[in-house]
Chains A and B, each alone.
Chain A
C-alpha cells in the first residue's frame, strides 16, 4: 500500500470517482439476473444429476449420422425419477421415468420460467430453450426434482 489515497483530498476525490464509476459501469440486468438465481435455490427438490450426454459420448456420433435430425440426448437421474430429453431440430422432447403425470418448468438463467404439463405417460415437449436453463419437475405423486443447469 503506497500513496495513501485517503490522505490527500485530490487523491480521495479521484478514488471516489473511480469507485462510483465501477458501479455505474455494471449493467442493471447483470445485477437483476444474479438476484433471480436465489429463488431457484430449492432445498426441497432433489437434484437430478446429468448421467448421460450424447455431446460427450464418442459412440453417439454414428447415431447422429444415421439420424441427422437427432441432435442431442441427455439423461438426468435423481434416483426416484429419471428425466430424459432429446433435442430434435429446435424442439425439446422429454420423458419422465417411471412414466407419470405432473408439471415441469423450464427455468432459464435470465430469470424467466414457464410451466409445461407432463402427460399421463410422462411425456412433455416445448421449444428448445436458448441459453442456460434447468428443468424443475413436480409429479402428481409429489416427487420434486430439478436438473443441473444445462446449455444446449
Chain B
C-alpha cells in the first residue's frame, strides 16, 4: 500500500476548484463508498443517503484536507460512520428494544478500514490497467471471466482466433496487465510491507 500519486494530484486540482478533478475523485472512490454501504447491508435509498452525505461533507472538508494522501482513509472512515448513523436511525424507527452492538473499538475500526482500503486500491489499479489493455485483450479476458465459462469453441468463433492460441493469448494479456504502471506499482508496494504503518499514520493526520 502506498500513497497514490494520481489521487494526490486529483485532490490538489480539486482543491483549486477544478470540477473535472472532483468528477474523477467521485468516479474513483464511488465503488469504495458503495461497497461499504453494501457491507452494512443498507437498502438502496439508505446507501444513496450515505453517499450524498459523504460527498457533501467532502466538498466542505476538502479545503482543510492538509494531507491529500489521507483522502481514501477519510472517505472510508466517514462512510463507515455514516452507515452506522443510518443503521441507528432505522433501528430507532422500527422501535427495536435491543440495538445490535456492531460498532467496534478504535483499533479494530482501523484494521477493518485498512482491509477495505487495501482491497479498494487493488480493485482500482486492476480496473485502470484493464482499461489500458488493447481491445483484443479486453474482449478475450471478458469472455474468459464469464460465469459459467464460455466454451473455447465459442470464444474462437466470436473473436476469430484459433482455439490453440486462446491459452497463450490469455497469458500474454495478463502479463501485459501485470506490467502496467498502476499494477506494477501496487505489486512493488505490497512486496515491501512497511507501507502499512506509514499509511495509517497519514490517515490520522487527515481527521
Contact = CB atoms under 8 A, between A and B. Distances in A.
Nearest 8 CB-CB pairings of A with B: A19-B123, A34-B26, A19-B126, A38-B22, A34-B55, A26-B34, A17-B145, A109-B52
A46 B55 CA distance: 20
23 contacts: A4-B187, A5-B122, A9-B174, A17-B145, A19-B123, A19-B127, A19-B130, A20-B127, A20-B145, A22-B35, A26-B34, A29-B48, A30-B30, A33-B51, A33-B55, A34-B26, A34-B52, A35-B22, A35-B23, A35-B26, A38-B19, A40-B59, A132-B49
Nearest to A24: B31
Interface in A26-62: 26-27, 29-31, 33-35, 37-41, 43
B51 A34 contact: yes
Given A16-B141, A22-B31, A9 B59 contact: no
A6 B187 contact: yes
A25 interface: yes
B7 interface: no
Interface in A88-140: 109-110, 132
Nearest to B14: A38
B200 to A, nearest CB: 15
Majority-rule SS of A interface residues: helix
A18 interface: yes
A69 interface: no
Contacts of B122: 5, 15, 19
B30 A34 contact: yes
A81 B118 CA distance: 47
Nearest to B178: A6
A128 to B, nearest CB: 18
B56 A1 contact: no
A23 B141 contact: no
Interface residues of B, number: 44
Q: What's the interface size class on A, roughly?
A: 20 to 34
Contacts of B127: 19-20, 23
Given A33-B52, A35-B19, A38-B14, 6 more contacts: A19-B126, A26-B34, A31-B26, A33-B48, A33-B55, A34-B30
B19 A39 contact: yes
B124 interface: yes
A147 to B, nearest CB: 13
Contacts of A30: 30, 34, 47-48, 51
B41 interface: no
A109 B52 CA distance: 7
A132 B19 contact: no
B11 interface: no
B190 interface: yes
Nearest to A14: B145
Given A26-B30, A34-B51, A109-B56, A20 B174 contact: no
B171 A9 contact: yes
Contact of B170 (A6, A9, A22): A9
Contact of B31 (A26, A110, A149): A26
